[in-house]
Amino acid sequence: MQNKWKFRFGFILCIIGIAILLTSLLIGRFIPGGFASLAIGFILISNSREK
């Protein structure tokens, strides 16, 4: 995968993860998947910065 696509997909996953975590805080119930999508997003963003 090209670096720009890794960065874009990682950024989108981070946004989705933050939205899931905020939603779970607002409704007072844990929704699984927020931490996983944040982790995958950060991994993709860090991999996109490597040469």
**Predicted pLDDT of residue 3:** 87
pTM for the structure as a whole? 0.85
Dump pLDDT digits (tens) for 15-37: 999 999 999 999 988 888 999 99
| Percent of the chain scoring above 90 in pLDDT | 75
The average confidence (pLDDT) of the chain is 91
Buried b (16+ CB within 10 A) or exposed e, 9-44: bbeebbebbeebbeeeeeeeeeeeebeebbebbeeb
